[in-house]
Amino acid sequence: MASSRRFKLLLILLAIVSLASFSPALPALSSPHRLHSNPKGGDRRFWIADDKFWKDGEPFQIIGGDLHYFRVVPQYWKDRLLRAKALGLNTIQTYVPWNLHEPSPEKWVFEGMADIESFLNIAQELGFLVMLRAGPYICAEWDLGGFPAWLLGIEPALELRSSDPAFLQLVDRWWGILLPKILPLLYSHGGPIIMVQVENEFGSYGDDQPYLRHLVALARRYLGTVDFSTGEDPWPIFQLQKKYNLPGKSPPLTAEFYTGWLTHWGEKIAVTDANSTAAALQKILSLNASAVLYMAHGGTNFGFFSGANTGENEKDYKADLTSYDYDAPIKESGDVQNLKFKALRNVIQKYSRGSLPPFPTNNEIARYGPVKVSKVASLFQVLHALCDPIQVIETDQPVSMESIGQMYGFLLYTSEYPEKESGSILSIPKVHDRAQVFIRCSLADNERSLIYIGTIERWSNREFAVPFIKCSSNVSLFILVENLGRLNYGPYLYDRKGLLSAVILDGTILHRWRLYPVSFNKLSSILRSNPIMQVADPQNVDMTEEPRFYQGSFFIDHKNHVKDTYISFRGWTKGIAFVNNFNIGRFWPLMGPQCTLYVPAPILQHGENIVVILELHSPHPELMLNLVDNHGLLMLIKN
């Protein structure tokens, strides 16, 4: 979706392609007379003629909504789709994020949350058609707009979203895996897919026509589409589409009818009025036009997949929340008992060919209550276990995360400098995205000897003072850099992470660095091997600004159903959380507005459930989490 509050007319040439089959060239279109004939022998057909969509010989109005399989745990795919059905939708639209399916070169993932074929089959079983947004670029407030981060580690640098031959070769390889999986799911082959979108919002990015033609060569038919906000008069825009399409190939369609909006850390939660949203949809549907709600259900940016946007320059960086609730009619937890769902359902009912399914009830959300956690270890204490020694890199100057294969999370940079007779000034001109700086004497092996210096942030980069410490050796410098999510939209899309410049101390560039990629793949075994440090007196809680792991547990009685819940992080500072080894995302209540993280029931279990958090700064003074039954997103943000 477009990441700009102001409406922009996005003419996406060749953007949506009706796939009867894949072909290296665009064949001549069939005659209108032939297109209007009813399918013979029960053949399934979906096509465009007379500025209309046609399905099996009848005009068809798309009333759809975006629901992304990769933002919902698979056990809830059917639940969320049934709620979309109750909203009155006849079509589901979803992106396909390349980075989910090829996390490293030629490592293909199509199971779990990446099992797109199962998702599409469930959609078909429930009677939905599907509009598939295959990319390779998707935006979507998703890390790097869906591109795999390893593309940024290739030298010479690739030119993304272009006809760069090296880039296209990788796109061809990816689509060579994806498209054969999609082929049997096309509508003409008995599946649910009626259209596939090529690229996304390219008109706002570039004009590389050979690139688009290369992508479109995989498809047979195409149409142009425009996205516009719920406040725009749609008909003039629909008329404008006709200038860019073949005669009769411009059925009025808005592929992104915004039901809400995204929110970044540090902003107030974006909300839109239910009645005005419904009125705008009514205006479109009353013109016999088609619309796809963005979003019908937003879901959650689990793990490290949330993206980011910029303002006027790349330093004006705004990271997206873990929650992708989007103020959609179907809320993050599946809640439909809200004004927006009811208002949109009432409008859609008027244009539905049959009665809508009964109004669904909300899933139950449990308040499991307070959870006391205990410190397990400092990140620096268990660094040897979080980072395989063979993965440690030695370089003269800092290099990006991607160049050493660290695609998400954290990278620790370490160096040394001679003891100074007084304090020093430290400067790192380019940090992507957030760096915590520590020092200690090089020969010291006690983690308590670490001294926190400060934090450098991409959006407020500054130099700061490093205090004098008396050492019998050199001073060790530790810089823990966090990747907060790569840009997913705009001219600065090529968004490498880490220290992207020299580190300067008192005007002198520091050399000889060691880089430690931090991995959480073996986190549970690491924490089991480290004794939990109990703190009897809350007044003795160590509040120093150092990254530490904390662990706690809660129990679900076998007599009770396992239910969704939310973990409230009020009183904590910033970090990431895992529940039963599942990364539920980033928390940052100090910045807000999101103060809780959604925990879907399928990742919970009867009996003991383990919560592990990495707090990057100061913990809750009583080392307490709270499992609550509401999202608690709203929080006042000081201007």
Length of the chain: 639
Phi first, then psi, for residue 314 (nearest 5°) are -70, -15
Q: Look up 419 and say whether it is catalytic.
A: no
Other beta carbons within 10 angstroms of residue 631's beta carbon come to: 21
Question: Catalytic residue among 141, 199, 201, 314, which?
Answer: 201
In this structure, which amino acid lies at residue 593?
A: P
Strand ranges for 174-316 from DSSP E: 193-197, 223-225, 253-258, 290-297, 308-310
Residue 375, C-beta contacts closer than 8 angstroms, at least 6 positions apart: 532, 533, 535, 542, 548, 549, 550, 619, 623
Least Cα distance to 413 among 377, 374, 471, 456 occurs for: 456
What is the pairing mode between strands 431-432 and 498-499? antiparallel
Helices (H) and strands (E) in the chain, counts: 11, 34
Strand ranges for 494-547 from DSSP E: 498-499, 504-505, 508-509, 513-518
Question: Catalytic residue among 256, 314, 332, 615, which?
Answer: 256
Q: Look up 256 and say whether it is catalytic.
A: yes
| Cα 55 to Cα 58: distance, rounded to the nearest angstrom | 5
Least Cα distance to 250 among 46, 489, 52 occurs for: 52
Question: 498: alpha, beta or left, given left = phi > 0 and alpha = psi -120 to 50?
Answer: left
Least Cα distance to 360 among 90, 80, 83 occurs for: 83
Q: What are residue 53's DSSP bridge partners?
A: 48, 60
DSSP one-letter string for 111-179? SGGG-HHHHHHHHHHTT-EEEEE--S---TTBGGGG--GGGGG-SSPP-TTS--HHHHHHHHHHHHHHH
Residue 566, C-beta contacts closer than 8 angstroms, at least 6 positions apart: 333, 365, 596, 597, 598, 599, 627, 628, 629, 630, 631, 632
Q: What are residue 508's DSSP bridge partners?
A: 505
> What is the set of active-site residues?
201, 256
